[in-house]
Amino acid sequence: MAKQPEKALFEYLRDILYRTDYASLDMDEIPEAFKPLAQGLHWLHQCVKEQKAFGESLAQGDLDVTPPGVENTLAAPLKAVQGSLKHIAWQARQLPKGDYGQHVDYMGEFAEILNTMIDQLAQQHQALLDEKHLVEEQNKILGQYYSLFLSLTESTDEAIIVLDEKTGKPQYLNPAALVFEEHYGDCLDVIRYQLGQVSEENLTQSEPWILEIEGDAQKSALYLRIVSHRLGWNGRDTIVHVIRDKTDERQKEAVLSDMVYRDALTGLYNRRYGMEKVEEWIAEGYHFTISFIDIDDLKTCNDAFGHDKGDDYIRLVATTLRGFRDNDVICRMGGDEFLLLTMGEQQEQIDGWLEKQRQWILSQQMTGVRGFRPCFSYGTSVVSPGWSQDADYYLGKADHRMYEYKRVNKIR
């Protein structure tokens, strides 16, 4: 005999709370009157599972784990904890760099303990600086400078490599340099060759210089910050190279730079990127097309079904437009507008492809928006080398053709 729906739903709720990973509910066995409640419990189940997985990742020390979305309000406290822990971790990473000005003004007793430790480290750091200054003042002879150099290089995380100026053979590598050579063994010959090509200007001015080694499909590019000095070493003319690996920092900068040009909702390029590309391609004298795509009745979808469905509508159109060539540019200009830039194509070809995509999207049925047909309108203008008009002219022309198309082909 089938369970009463109330009992089945109660047991499902209990399992969600106490046996999250094993909780299940057969929606087909739930009467129609109880379906909304069952669907709500299913949503709660997903939220609890996300919260549990998120909490387990944090407990294991994975502070970079992707948190649940904003719709999962159960995870909000854990996301706040993640934010606090990531900030504290960032502050802790500043200490080896000599930044002792970081203090935590929240998290109670933990903050007091951490701030005390930071203050003690700052005092110790200052004490070490004072001691180093005193030693440098008292020790002027070569042997004492040599001993001081060794003591400093053994503890730094920067790779220090001493090479014979004539032969290029290594005379000294500190522990960090040994780790460096082991880590970048496949690039070692290239690195050593480049070290041997250091310019006279870098040597005389001791200015940092950047060594960049291009990557390939198997490995990423390598960025090294190097300071080079001439130094007498055991009777030889040598060059000391102090190397810091800046690869991770450069990669993070590249990610941040990409974020400036990305639309958060769709992952496409944003208006800023699109406008810069239009100006750039016109300035370079390229032959290309500009297409404006406008989502039909997005406001109607938002008003009738909610902004979440409106966002789904925007993403559906964005996914559809991604189907063109990889080397073309697709941007979300904001709201319901998209921009497509195609190199070397004719207007007829672009309009033909857009019409094909429009017909395809008309055949789609979006989940939870019964009776609503997704669609878009478009208009294209051509930019040819030698034409004197500015970007606003071509954009306006494409925009005008898009609205004319919308007027003629409106489906609602």
User: Mind listing the pLDDT tens digit for each residue in 53-92?
Assistant: 888 898 898 888 898 888 888 878 888 888 878 887 787 7
Exposed/middle/buried for 274, CB within 10 Å: 0-12, 13-18, 19+? buried
Q: How confident is the model at residue 1 (pLDDT cuts 50, 70, 90)?
A: very low
For residue 412, pLDDT over 60 is answered with: no
Helix axes 76-94, 35-59, angle to 10 degrees: 20
**Which pLDDT score is estimated for 298?**
93
Encode pLDDT of 273-289 as tens digits. 999 999 999 999 999 99
CATH classification number, 156-250, choose in 3.90.550, 3.30.450, 3.30.310, 1.10.3470 = 3.30.450
Task: Report the pLDDT value the prediction gives residue 316, as an integer from 0 to 100.
Answer: 94
Contact between residue 374 and residue 361 where contact means Cβ atoms under 8 Å apart: yes
Three-state secondary structure readout of the chain? CCCCHHHHHHHHHHHHHHCHHHCCCCHHHCCHHHHHHHHHHHHHHHHHHHHHHHHHHHHCCCCCCCCCCCCCHHHHHHHHHHHHHHHHHHHHHHHHHCCCCCCCCCCHHHHHHHHHHHHHHHHHHHHHHHHHHHHHHHCCCHHHHHHHHHHHHHHCCCEEEEEECCCCCEEEECHHHHHHHHHCHHHHHHHHHHHHCCCHHHHHHCCCEEEEECCCCCCCCEEEEEEEEEEEECCEEEEEEEEEECHHHHHHHHHHHHHHCECCCCCCEEHHHHHHHHHHHHHHCCCEEEEEEEECCHHHHHHHHCHHHHHHHHHHHHHHHCCCCCCCEEEEEECCEEEEEEECCCHHHHHHHHHHHHHHHHCCCCCCCCCCCCCEEEEEEEECCCCCCCHHHHHHHHHHHHHHHHHHHCCC
Give the range with max mean pLDDT: 25-34, 157-166, 312-321: 312-321
* Alpha-carbon gap, residue 357 to 321, rounded angstroms: 8
pLDDT exceeds cutoff 60 at 260: yes
Confidence check: pLDDT of 401 > 80: yes
**Quick one: tokens of 188?**
């070692």
Looking at the predicted structure, is the pLDDT value of residue 366 above 70? yes
Name the nearest CA neighbour of 317 among 350, 341, 342, 292: 292
Residue 238: closest CA among 165, 159, 142: 165
pLDDT band with cut points at 50, 70 and 90 for residue 139:
low
Architecture of domain 262-409: 2-Layer Sandwich (3.30)
The pLDDT value recorded for residue 396 is 94
**Residue 266: pLDDT above 90?**
yes
Choose from 125-129, 188-192, 240-244, 315-319 the range with maximum mean pLDDT. Answer: 315-319
**Residue with the larger pLDDT of the pair 102 and 170:** 170
- What residue segments make up the domains of the chain, in order of their start? 5-92, 156-250, 262-409
Q: Are 361 and 316 in contact (CB under 8 A)?
A: yes
Confidence tier at 159 by pLDDT (50, 70, 90): confident
